[in-house]
Amino acid sequence: MLTWECLVDTVRDDLPFILSVGTGCAISASCLEKRKHFYLRVALTLLLAFCWMYGTRPYVGLNMQGTRMGIIRYITAFVLFMLSVPFCSRANFCQALYAVTVAYSIQNMCERIIHIPRYSLPNFPVLLDRSCLLALMAIALYSYYRILVGKRRQRTVMDFSNMSSCMMLFMGVGVVAISVVLDLTLYRVTPSGNRELSNCHNIMSAVFSLLTIVVCMSHLRETENERKADVAAQMLYSKQRRYEQERQIHDAINLKCHDIRHQIAALGDAGYQEELKKIGQLVNIYDAAPHTQNAALDVALSGKMLACTNLGITMTCLADGRRIGFMEDSDIYALFGNILDNAIEATKTVTEEEKRIISLTIGTTGDLLLIDSQNYYAGEICFVDGLPQTSKENKEYHGFGTRSIKTLTEKYGGDLKISAENGIFRLSIMLPIPT
Q: Encode pLDDT of 79-138 as tens digits.
A: 898 888 889 888 888 788 888 888 888 888 888 888 777 666 666 666 677 788 888 888
Alpha carbon separation from 300 to 24, 297, 337 (Å, rounded)? 48, 5, 6
Give Cβ neighbours of residue 397 (< 8 Å, ≥ 6 apart): 231
Label residue 272 by pLDDT band (50, 70, 90): low
| Every domain of the chain and the residues it spans | 4-233, 289-432
Of 45-54, 194-203, 306-315, where does mean pLDDT reach its minimum?
194-203
pLDDT at site 191: 47
Of 32 and 313, the structure prediction assigns the larger pLDDT to 313
Label residue 393 by pLDDT band (50, 70, 90): very low
Kindly tell me the number of DSSP H helices and DSSP E strands found in the chain.
12, 7
Q: Encode pLDDT of 183-232 as tens digits.
A: 655 555 554 445 666 677 778 778 888 887 887 777 777 776 666 666 55
pLDDT at site 427: 94
pLDDT at site 397: 36
pLDDT at site 134: 83
CA separation for the pair 406, 311 (Å, rounded): 27
Q: Encode pLDDT of 158-182 as tens digits.
A: 666 554 556 656 666 666 666 666 6
Q: Minimal CA–CA distance to 11: which of 74, 75, 54?
A: 54
Residue pair 91/160 in contact by the 8 Å Cβ criterion: no
pTM listed for this prediction? 0.54
Residue 411 pLDDT more than 80?
Answer: yes
The predicted model gives 414-435 an average pLDDT of 91
**CATH for 289-432?**
3.30.565.10
Residues of the chain with pLDDT > 70, as a percent, come to: 65
Sort strands 383-384 and 387-388 into parallel, antiparallel or unpaired.
antiparallel
Amino acid (1-letter code) at residue 17: F
Label residue 371 by pLDDT band (50, 70, 90): very high
Average pLDDT of every residue of the chain: 75
